[in-house]
Amino acid sequence: MKRDPQRPQECPGRPQGQPEPPSPPSSSSPEPPLWIFGYGSLVWRPGFEFTSRKVGFIRGYSRRFWQGDTFHRGSEKAACTWGVAYEVCGEQIAASLQYLNMREAVLGGYDTKLVKFHPQDKDAEEPIQALVYIATPQNPSYLGPASEEDIAAQIMASSGCAGHNIEYLLRLADFMRYFCPQAEDKHLFSIEEALISILPCTCHTEETLEETSGVPQKTKS
């Protein structure tokens, strides 16, 4: 079972008071665009068509590798979680929600929540409302807290149909390092350090990240 980032203390099954995902657009009038925020594998492998994307963060959450996953490969506090928000428009909305419902909700056990996304762009004026998929302690795959060393050991031994859990961790760490250098994610980088210390050989470069089409690329001079 692999480890995924999650957020505790939310009930699964979208309990009373938790927002429903936006409905697909109607044929009578165009729907406004929908923004979808990703903080895990969605930052480099969204898997759906989108119109635009922005790097940024949401407040009140910390990324934690406390969620297990037998198929694919944070706690709420005064903190923020960095990732990528994708803008989907028109027919992209229904298609992306259908895809993500299977990937994140059905297979991953994640719930949906509407959050305020703060773009990294300096000229951004107001936060953007975005949909996010979040795991909970009530999820059958919830593993709970563990030491960075124990998490790293479990990551090294885990793989599934979407790839090896090592790739998940290293690509996420690369994203934070190269696109959010001002942000701190002590939990993530401590697990990365623990993993590298027990790997016999690690090929971990910026070039491997930039070969991935799902992540916004930096402009090279």
pLDDT in tens, 33-80: 999 999 988 998 899 999 999 999 998 877 777 555 543 333 444 478
Instruction: Give me the domains of the chain, ranges plus CATH numbers.
Output: 34-199 (3.10.490.10)
Task: Give the model's pLDDT for residue 158.
Answer: 79
Of 63-72, 75-84, 109-118, 212-221, the range with the lowest mean pLDDT is: 212-221
Question: 3-class secondary structure for the chain?
Answer: CEEEEECCCCCCCCCCCCCCCCCCCCCCCCCCCEEEEECCHHHCCCCCCCCEEEEEEEEEECCEEEEEECCCCCCEEEEEEEEEEEEECCHHHHHHHHHHHHHHHHCCCCEEEEEEEEECCCCCCCCEEEEEEECCCCCCCECCCCCHHHHHHHHHCCEECCEEHHHHHHHHHHHHHHHCCCCCCHHHHHHHHHHHHHCCCCCCCHHHHHCCCCCCCCCCC
Q: What is the pTM of this model?
A: 0.70
pLDDT beyond 60 at 5: no
Rounded mean pLDDT of the chain?
A: 76
Task: Give the model's pLDDT for residue 28.
Answer: 59
- Of the candidates 104, 148, 167, 192, the residue annotated as catalytic is 104
Residue with the larger pLDDT of the pair 18 and 122: 122
Q: How confident is the model at residue 27 (pLDDT cuts 50, 70, 90)?
A: low
Task: Give the model's pLDDT for residue 195.
Answer: 93
Q: How confident is the model at residue 173 (pLDDT cuts 50, 70, 90)?
A: very high
Whether 20 sits among the annotated catalytic residues: the reply is no
